[in-house]
Amino acid sequence: MAEEKGPTAPPGLKIVVVGPTQGGKTTVSNYVASDEAVDFEYPFEYNPTVGVRILECERNLGGPATPVEVWDVGGSTDYEGCWPAIMHDAHGVVLVYNPEQEGQVSESGAWYEYFVQNNDLPDEACVVFAFAPNAQRGTRQRVSPKIEHLNVVNISLDDGSLVKTQFERFLKAAKARKDSGGGGGEAKGAEYK
Ligand SMILES: Nc1nc2c(ncn2[C@@H]2O[C@H](COP(=O)(O)OP(=O)(O)OP(=O)(O)O)[C@@H](O)[C@H]2O)c(=O)[nH]1
Ligand SMILES: [Mg+2]
């Protein structure tokens, strides 16, 4: 990462993964940032994320490989003081919540307002994973009215390939916005769906 020398533009994409505590951010982050063909599964044991973890990978999004940083943010509000710094220069937000947990459904709306709206990011810069680990495919999951206009993807632990596909699409759209010169709010969204 450190030796990366892009011709002109600063390298890479910064993607911030946010949402209520125990929603599955670390589970999703580990999966999408892995370079190996790993299964979509829980970490060996649950450890609340302290502050933020930064996972680095490279993805082929067209042209030379793009360095991607996945910032897996701890869901505890104890780290609220770090959130502005965490969001600095972010290109996209992945919002993860567990739709089977009543409180997380409403909390997800507040995470969207804080991390997307307050940062003047376009809605296209946010993908939502409603992560119900053991749900049956096709289960209709609850969505907060605040985020129902976004791209909300229902996933369970059986949906690893869907997570990968959606994440890659999301990265391509983020790269297109970045390449078109938009740093954030004013960026034109590339067609996403
Ligand atoms: N049944 C089961 N649940 C697990 C296991 N490991 C983690 N979990 C649960 O999976 C959920 C998601 O865990 P994480 O991905 O670490 O959640 P997170 O959103 O990163 O949480 P924070 O870092 O605290 O904000 C939590 O509700 C855990 O209790 C496991 O081995 N078995
Ligand atoms: Mg975590």
Looking at residue 182, its pLDDT comes to 64
Closest CA to 92 of 170, 1, 150: 170
Looking at residue 9, its pLDDT comes to 52
Taking a 5 Å cut-off on Cβ, the residues next to ion ligand 2 are: 25-26, 49
| Ligand with minimal distance to 25 CA | 1
Please give the average per-residue pLDDT across 55-82, as a whole number: 96
The domain segmentation of the chain, as residue ranges, is 13-35+52-180
Q: Which helix (H) or strand (E) holds 168?
A: helix 160-179
Closest CA to 139 of 98, 175, 107: 98
Structure confidence by residue, pLDDT tens digits, 101-129? 999 999 999 999 999 999 999 999 999 99
Nearest atom, ligand 1, residue 48 CA: 24
Q: Which CATH architecture has domain 13-35+52-180?
A: 3-Layer(aba) Sandwich (3.40)
Structure confidence by residue, pLDDT tens digits, 161-178? 999 999 999 999 999 999
Q: Helical H runs in 34-140?
A: 83-87, 102-112
| Mean of the per-residue pLDDT values of the chain | 90
User: How far does the centroid of ligand 1 lie from the alpha carbon of residue 111, in Å?
Assistant: 18
Looking at residue 10, its pLDDT comes to 62
| Higher-pLDDT residue of 41, 9 | 41
Band of pLDDT at residue 187, cut at 50, 70 and 90: very low
